[in-house]
Structure 1
Amino acid sequence: MDGRKRQLMNLAGGRAWQYMKENLFDSLRSGALVVCEVERIERVKPEPEYTPAEVRQATDMTAEGTEETPATETESTATLYNKEDETMPQDNTDKDAAEKKPFYMAAKTNLLYDAALVPNVGLEFYLGKGWSIGGNWMYAWLMSDTRHRYWRIYGGEFDIRKYFGRKAAEKPLQGHHLGVYAQGLTFDFETGGKGYLSDFSYGFGLEYGYSLPVAKRLNIDFGISVGYDGGKYKVYEPEDGCYVYKETKQRHWFGPTRAEISFVWLLGHGNENSKKGGTK
């Protein structure tokens, strides 16, 4: 109540008070941790010096016990910020990790092809909104001339799928799916008697399946396809150590064209099932 605080606030236009407020007072009070953006402060234009008459007037006011902060304090202590100035770098590692988008893809093999001694591998990529694209490659080159046995095939398949249903809504690449497919391949099959050789065969059609989650990163995909298979193939028979050409035929087949029971390995960030038989 002796007015010294008011005198200090008015000393040199308030600059001394502002300096102590910025550099000393915070350490004398309770505090809290605040993460803020630090920017360079542009100095304000210095206030004009007070005349001795103004200082005496302020002294007379404090002598009367006045402790109120002058209305011009906010104006005298205002600071200007230049948004174009450089700021302190911030560590956004946690933020970037939280905002990292999930990525869904899968590698798979059709166990039915494997059981038929045709090794195969496929990849499937999730495009969003239930849609995916995938491809599969198969290759087998088994032969025994002495027994006239050939089991050779290579080719690929391409499909586009749309997942739907409750499971598909919970997580991509699971649940019911419908799609279209196309395939192209070449083969030479002979098991000791009549043989069949095709330089190129093809097919296309519709597929339906269901992808069942069974482990954290494992699904089993069941599927059936119907459509058309076509292409020319040659018929031959082994005779006297040679392979005798018999005829060329054109295949036209409408109906079931392929079946699938595939192990599906889920790959990518966030592409996990929460538990066996469940979704994340």
Structure 2
Amino acid sequence: MKRIILLLAIVVVGASQAVRGQNVAVKTNLLSDAVFSPNLGIEVGLAPKWTLNVSGQLNTWNLSHDRRWKHWVAQPEIRYWLCDRFGAHFFGAHVHGGQYNIGGIDGRVKFLGTDVRKLKDTRYQGWFAGAGIAYGYAWILGRHWNLEAEIGFGYSYTRYSKYRCSGCGKKVESNRPHHYVGPTKAAINLVYLF
């Protein structure tokens, strides 16, 4: 009888470990880390092929020469994995939102209706919200480590106020809307699985 109880206990413990295995992941986006924007993500398994990924980013750095690049972003995403979760190809649908205060940056890019060159002599402060779809791939590096690449495309709506220079408080425009369609997500994530 003791052997049967011991065998049942081993089976129950073993089965519960298989159910919990690789159910939660913690990650950081190396692309955001490269531009000094601290970020963190957590992904939770919902079903054998479905996960919920929630990532966030916060940048509060004060830059030299009266430049500003402050923001916070939250981006929850539901993912469908073509194979098992946390491995190989996946598709996602995400929403995003946040606030920003940016100006005094000497950008030389005009891309999909967004002119970064305007940031040199002005400052923009506002909020944004939107949604998009994404595709990604996860490489299994080890029992607990993955590397993940993802690109997303979608829409963002923003309302902002424009200021004459990056450091002064002279408001030029207020509550102005802007619509954006284009890339909404780019990530190379280093992932730790529990």
Q: TM-score under structure 2 normalisation?
A: 0.81
Partner in structure 2 of residue 216 of structure 1: 143
Q: Deviations over 1:174-218 (max 9, x none)?
A: 1110110001100101236321111x2111011111111122211
Q: Deviations over 1:125-168 (max 9, x none)?
A: 11123011110111111125x7322221113110001000xxx2
Q: Does the residue aligned with 1:98 lie in a helix, a strand or coil?
A: helix
Is the CA contact (8 Å cut-off) linking 2:24 and 2:45 kept in structure 1? Answer: yes
Unpaired runs of at least 5, structure 1: 1-34, 38-88, 268-280
- 4+ aligned runs moved over 3 Å, structure 1: 89-93
- Say which one has the larger Rg: 1
Partner in structure 2 of residue 265 of structure 1: 192
Q: Indicate whether 1:95 and 2:11 are aligned.
A: yes
Q: 1:114 aligns with which of 8, 27, 33?
A: 33
Is the CA contact (8 Å cut-off) linking 2:88 and 2:137 kept in structure 1? Answer: yes
Unpaired runs of at least 5, structure 2: 106-120
Q: Indicate whether 1:238 and 2:172 are aligned.
A: no
Partner in structure 2 of residue 46 of structure 1: none
Q: Does the residue aligned with 2:36 lie in a helix, a strand or coil?
A: coil
Q: Deviations over 1:11-70 (max 9, x none)?
A: xxxxxxxxxxxxxxxxxxxxxxxx479xxxxxxxxxxxxxxxxxxxxxxxxxxxxxxxxx
Shift of 1:96: 2.7
Percentage of identical aligned residues? 25
Is the CA contact (8 Å cut-off) linking 2:45 and 2:51 kept in structure 1? Answer: yes
Aligned residues: 174
Is the CA contact (8 Å cut-off) linking 1:184 and 1:202 kept in structure 2? Answer: yes
Paired letter, 1:102: V
Is the CA contact (8 Å cut-off) linking 2:137 and 2:148 kept in structure 1? Answer: yes
Q: Deviations over 1:93-142 (max 9, x none)?
A: 42332222432111011111112221100000111230111101111111
Q: TM-score under structure 1 normalisation?
A: 0.57
Structure 1 156/251 Cα, relative in aligned 2: closer, same or farther at 3 Å? Answer: same
In the TM superposition, 1:1-280 aligns within 5 A as 35=1, 90-91=5-6, 92-100=8-16, 101-103=18-20, 104-144=23-63, 147-164=65-82, 168=83, 171-191=84-104, 193-198=121-126, 200-238=127-165, 242-248=168-174, 249-267=176-194
Q: Identify the structure with bigger relative contact order (alpha carbons < 8 Å, sequence gap 6+).
A: 2
